[in-house]
Amino acid sequence: MKKLILGLLVLMTFSCGSGRIATTETKQTETIVFGKLTIESDKALINKKILMHFNERLWGKHAVWLDESGYFYLKMPLGNNFIALLEYRDGGYYKNIPDNYISINVPLTDKIYYIGDISLVWTPSATDKRNNAGGVVGVLAEASKKGEKVNVSVSESDAAINYFKQMFPNNEKEIITSLAITNN
């Protein structure tokens, strides 16, 4: 049984894609969101080693790696969504964010949503390392932690929209600005 669980965890770890989209085509139950994440930190962070999880902290169903400039673009389910977890994979740091603290609402499948330039303050430290000593139980316990609020701001920039248009020159869907909301 242990070998089966270990095998599944290894498979999930190495089968994860970037989460980034290749086209702007979507199913009727999903839409596309994009933006830019900047983490203000006391130490230099490499954007390509930052992974954002939306809606849950464990499986990475709606997770995306930032590109080298900090931009992200991915498919999301229609409706209300939120940033649930930030990972910095250079040392194994994790920051659980409280449910619905940084939230977005994306109701239409035929639109693309720019959710803003999100800037938050976080310096990965020893307290942000996961305690995986308990194996699967330890991972589940860490993922269930509610998280803590971080200083966050959301702004709008033409640069992010222009970047998306350059990445997807054949896109015909309307881009709507619907900035993420911080719920204090």
Angstrom distance (rounded) from CA 126 to CA 112: 38
**Is residue 14 domain-resident?**
no
What predicted TM-score, i.e. pTM, was given to this entire model?
0.84
- Name the token pair of 68: 């080298």
Q: What is the pLDDT of residue 92?
A: 87
Is there a domain that residue 6 lies in? Answer: no
Query: Domain containing 127 — which CATH number?
Result: 2.60.40.10
pLDDT of residue 19: 72
Counted domains in the chain: 1
The domain of 169 spans 26-182
pLDDT (0 to 100) of residue 6? 42
Answer yes or no: is 19 within a domain. no
Alpha carbon distance 56, 84 (integer Å):
6
How buried is residue 41: exposed, middle or buried, by Cβ count under 10 Å (0-12/13-18/19+)?
middle
User: Strands, DSSP E only, in 97-135?
Assistant: 102-106, 111-121
Q: Is the residue at 56 inside a domain?
A: yes
Cβ of 61: how many Cβ atoms within 10 Å?
11
Is residue 118 assigned to a domain?
Answer: yes
- Residue 11 domain-assigned? no
Do the Cβ atoms of 76 and 112 come closer than 8 Å? no
Provide the 10 A C-beta neighbour count for residue 99.
16
10 is a domain residue: no
Residue 34 lies in a domain: yes
Taking only the tens of pLDDT, the chain with its 184 residues reads: 454 344 444 434 433 445 778 899 999 999 999 999 999 999 999 999 999 999 998 777 899 999 999 999 999 999 999 999 999 998 889 999 999 999 999 999 999 999 999 999 999 998 888 766 555 665 665 666 678 899 999 999 999 999 999 999 999 999 999 999 998 7
